Every structure is written in C-alpha cells, then in structure tokens.
C-alpha cells in the first residue's frame, strides 16, 4: 500500500476565553491510499479536530504543531476538489435558499471546469448515484423539502462531485435513525468502492465503524491510543481503553443489564 497522507506529531491547541486547551497531542499516522480508516473515540477526544486539520478547515486561532504531508500531484490539496467533507448535520452544509441541483452543479463547475449545462448533467448523474428518488425533480428541490436522510444523500453527492481522492465523513450518520443510518453507510461503502476513494469515517460508535472500516484508530483525550486492523481491534485490542469501549457496547447479543428471573441468559 502507498500512503495518501502522512501525519507526524500533530498537535492542535484551541484558545477559548483566554485559556488554551489541547485538542490533539502528538498524533502520528499514515492514511493509505484506497483504505477505509475509521477514527473513533468519545466526545471531545479530538476526532473532528483531526478531520478538520486534514481538510485544512481548522479555525484561524487554532495553534497547530507537527505536519501533514500529502502524496498527491497537487502539493496543496483543495477542499471540494481533492477532499470531500460530509458533516453530521446536512442542513449546515447545504444552502437553504438554493435548489440542491445548483449546489451540486456549482461544485462540479468550480473544480472540474465544466459549463453550467455540463455541471447540471453531472449533478443529475450524482443524484442518481446517491439513489435519490426522481433525480429530475430532486434537482429543483430545496433542502427543507427533503428528509434528513435525503439531505445527507445530497450532501454526499456534493462532496464527491469533483471526484476527490479522500472522502471525510464526520459523524455523517449520527443524526439519522437506525434504518436510514444503515442506508447511508451502505451508500458510502458503494461510492468509495466504485470511485476508489480513500475514506476517513469518524464515529463515536465502534460497532458502526467496524461495519465499514479496514482499520480503526482510537482517540482518547487528544491522543492516538491504538491503531490497527478492524479484526485486531475487535478481537485483540491492545489498549485497555479500547477494551473498555468494546465492553460498554450494548449489542443485540450483549448480556442484558436487567437480570430477569426465568429468562435464560
């Protein structure tokens, strides 16, 4: 495998109310080209900070140390063209007063140097690829006319419009119900495979991450505590914290907390 990017000793500090807080410290990892890498960890562990740092989206007052090296023809990857980003809340990334077809077409036009008619044709193809029912009328729909799952499909279409090498999904399914979440995960899996994209899948849910990822990185308090193949992380976690996360998972086969008489465990 060849690396798509290499992160060395990355640290990020935020300033809030005059106090500095460390969000990431000394994180080093390589993202292999074409792999599906999950970043997991609890709230505040630094997952989004890592995603934003990779995408070059960190707020201006964040202090960073270390480096991120890309192995791409373009030395400075551009968001939209080289990196697609899908956020938890699709409403925050979609413009409420612009038809969704135009929003997707705009990404294609900007980064692929297409004419408007070409960009609209591309947008329609993308809406078909993300399986939005009736793509022709969906092109003209506004975000508020779509369900949460449909909006997330549109956000994904926009994120992959310029055929980026890297797709980052930051809790992209966390606001959706279980059934819609499974559909979106299946969609991401298919698109990543079809386009040979590299996937950075960020989630607080270790079980969800495991359904999609080749490798899993575990963050805790801003530090990378473990990184390994999904099978190794699940079956032979090296770090006590990873084990604790696995044990805290309440799966459909876990021992119920409720002990009931007369019901065999």
Partner 1 sequence: MSVLAVSNLAKRYHRGGKPFAAVDDVSFEIGPAETLALAGPSGSGKSTIARLVLRLIEPDAGRIDFEDSDFLALSGAALRARRARIQMVFQDPLAAFNPRATVARVLDDPLRIHGIASRAERPRRIAALLERVGLDAGLAAHAIHEISGGQRQRVAIARAIATRPSLIVLDEAVSALDVSVRGQILELLLDLQRRERIAYLFISHDLGVIRAVAHRVIILDAGRIAESGDARAVVTNPQSAIGKALVAATPKLIRNRP
Least separation, in Å, of the C-beta of 260 and partner 1? 7
86: left (phi over 0), alpha (psi -120 to 50) or beta: beta
Contact 35, 217 (CB under 8 A): no
From residue 41 to residue 80, the character string flagging contacts with ligand ATP as x (rule: CB under 6 A) and all else as - is x-xxxxxxx---------x---------------------
CB-nearer residue toward partner 1: 20 or 235: 235
Nearest-5° Cα angle at 57, 126 to 182: 45
Q: Which of residues 47-106 bind Mg ion (CB under 5 A)?
A: 48
Which of 23, 168, 176, 188 touches ligand ATP (CB under 6 A)? 23
59, interface contact from partner 1, ligand ATP, Mg ion, none, CB < 5-8 Å by kind: ligand ATP
DSSP 79-107: BTTTEEEE-S-HHHHS-TTS-HHHHHHHH
Contact 190, 176 (CB under 8 A): no
Least separation, in Å, of the C-beta of 48 and Mg ion? 3
Binding site for partner 1 (CB under 8 A): 42-43, 148, 176-183, 204-208, 210-211, 231, 234-236, 244-246, 248-254, 256-258, 260, 263
Contact 172, 191 (CB under 8 A): no
Nearest-5° Cα angle at 238, 232 to 240: 125
Least separation, in Å, of the C-beta of 52 and ligand ATP? 8
CA distance 123 to 161: 8
Burial of 262 per CB tally in 10 Å (0-12, 13-18, 19+): exposed
CA distance 214 to 210: 8
CA distance 149 to 125: 19
Least separation, in Å, of the C-beta of 226 and partner 1? 15
CB-nearer residue toward ligand ATP: 46 or 143: 46
From residue 157 to residue 196, the character string flagging contacts with ligand ATP as x (rule: CB under 6 A) and all else as - is --------------------x-------------------
Q: Which of residues 109-148 bind ligand ATP (CB under 6 A)?
A: none
CB-nearer residue toward ligand ATP: 14 or 71: 14
Contacting residues toward Mg ion, per CB under 5 A: 48
């Amino acid at each position: 495998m060849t690396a798509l990017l290499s992160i060395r000793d990355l640290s990020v500090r935020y300033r809030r109310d005059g106090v500095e807080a460390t969000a990431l410290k000394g994180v080093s990892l390589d993202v292999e080209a074409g792999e599906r890498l999950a970043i997991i960890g609890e709230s505040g562990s630094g997952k989004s900070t890592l995603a934003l740092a990779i995408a070059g989206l960190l707020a201006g007052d964040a202090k960073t140390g270390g480096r991120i090296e890309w192995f791409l023809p373009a030395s400075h990857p551009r968001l939209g063209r080289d990196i697609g980003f899908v956020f938890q809340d699709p409403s925050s990334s979609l413009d409420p007063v612009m038809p969704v077809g135009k929003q997707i077409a705009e990404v294609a036009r900007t980064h692929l140097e297409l004419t408007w008619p070409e960009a609209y044709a591309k947008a329609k193809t993308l809406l078909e690829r993300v399986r939005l029912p009736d793509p022709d009328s969906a092109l003209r729909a506004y975000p508020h006319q779509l369900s949460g799952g449909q909006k997330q499909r549109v956000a994904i279409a926009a994120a992959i419009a310029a055929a980026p090498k890297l797709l980052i999904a930051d809790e992209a399914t966390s606001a959706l119900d279980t059934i819609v979440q499974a559909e979106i995960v299946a969609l991401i899996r298919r698109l990543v495979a079809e386009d040979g994209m590299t996937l950075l899948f960020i989630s607080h849910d270790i079980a969800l991450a495991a359904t999609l990822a080749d490798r899993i990185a575990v963050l805790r308090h801003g530090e990378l505590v473990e990184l390994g193949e999904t099978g190794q992380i699940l079956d032979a976690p090296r770090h006590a914290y990873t084990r604790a996360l696995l044990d805290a998972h309440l799966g459909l086969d876990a021992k119920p907390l409720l002990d009931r008489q007369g019901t065999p465990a």
